Amino acid sequence: MVRFVVLVVAAWLFHIVPTASSYDIIEVRHGGTLDGRVTLSGSIPEPKGFNLITFPDPAYCGRISNGKGWRLLHDFIVSSDGGLKNAIVILEGVEAGKPFDLSVPLIEARDCMFQPWVTIVRNGHAVEVVNMDPVMHDIQGYETSPEAGARVMFNTPLILNHQHQRGNIHAVHNHAPGKSLVGPIYLNKGRRTFYMQCGFHAYMESWAMAVNNPYYAVTDDQGAFKIENVPPGTYQMVVWHPQSGPGVTRTITVASDGTTTEQVALPAPKGNRTAYKVMDNPRFGLESLGHPVEIQPLVEHQQ
């Protein structure tokens, strides 16, 4: 048995086993830049709808809702001209180059939402997850890949934050994170995608991609990305979004002291993606609880 002794503030650490490939840090001379834009091809899918009365803590989690008892999961955020946010761009095949950013990625459970929705993790390092909410979350973790499928990694509670003003629906998050939870998580060979969901609140999810080198980016709200100081050479550029299928792989060449610009369109999924859909149904109305519940979208009124 391996024991971990970690001093952190309200952290859940995901330890990811290194892959067989290695990465060397060198001084990059005459490095190039890869930039561009990722767009969504096709109609923007409707957000997934979750009726709040079918999950715990409807009043508190309703701080982000449509005001009619529904919580929406906007997993496709697209600008007016088609730019896709939260797409991951990575370069495969870079064996030596600039150093990694050694900071530990942080995911917060805040107002029954994991933020950020996507992140990048380095093999062999950690992700920090903290609870800012006065309600308990049940963290379920899975490793997955299109080839190997999904595998359950853990299921553990993330206790409520006692420093938040429980019962005060108007309370703000001017407090420290909740209590720490620490445990080892290992991704098996062939799986690079980590998916986390709350077992109590199904609309809470977060995705992470494990990388072997620091040449990656996550698109902004216009779909733009930039990767700098790339050693000149030919690589595989992989563009992926958690809900748009297997992604796009393209061979590119980065020239010395130059800029390579790539435009990538990811296909929008077609058909009915989920059984969860916003609808008016008296059986799922607030009155079906048998007692008054007031759901106020105080943080965000979702459309």
pLDDT band, very low/low/confident/very high, at 267 (cuts 50, 70, 90): very high
pLDDT over threshold 60, residue 99:
yes
Would you state the torsion angle of the CA atoms of residues 66, 49, 150, 269, taken in this order, to the nearest 10 degrees? -110
| pLDDT for the residue numbered 201 | 97
Spatial distance between the Cα atoms of 245 and 87, rounded to a whole number of angstroms: 12
pLDDT band, very low/low/confident/very high, at 146 (cuts 50, 70, 90): low
* Domain contains 10: no
| pLDDT for the residue numbered 4 | 31
Mean pLDDT of the 213-238 span: 97
| 53 close to 65: Cβ distance less than 8 angstroms | no
* Domain contains 287: no
* Domain contains 19: no
pLDDT over threshold 60, residue 1:
no
* Domain contains 158: yes
Average pLDDT, the chain: 85
Identify the CATH number of the domain in which residue 98 sits.
2.60.40.420
- The residue that leads in pLDDT, 292 or 136, is 136
pLDDT band, very low/low/confident/very high, at 260 (cuts 50, 70, 90): very high
Spatial distance between the Cα atoms of 181 and 221, rounded to a whole number of angstroms: 32
- The residue that leads in pLDDT, 152 or 220, is 220
Sorted by sequence, the CB contacts under 8 Å of residue 22 that are 6+ apart come out as: 95
- The residue that leads in pLDDT, 125 or 213, is 213
* Domain contains 295: no
* Domain contains 235: yes
Q: What's the one-letter identity of residue 259?
A: T
* Domain contains 91: yes
pLDDT in tens, 109-129: 999 999 999 999 876 677 778
Q: Between vectors from CA 120 to CA 114 and to CA 126, what angle results, nearest 5°? A: 80
pLDDT band, very low/low/confident/very high, at 302 (cuts 50, 70, 90): very high
| pLDDT for the residue numbered 288 | 59
User: How many distinct structural domains can be found in the chain?
Assistant: 1
pLDDT in tens, 166-191: 889 899 999 998 876 655 556 666 67
Structural domain of 132? 24-278
* Domain contains 236: yes
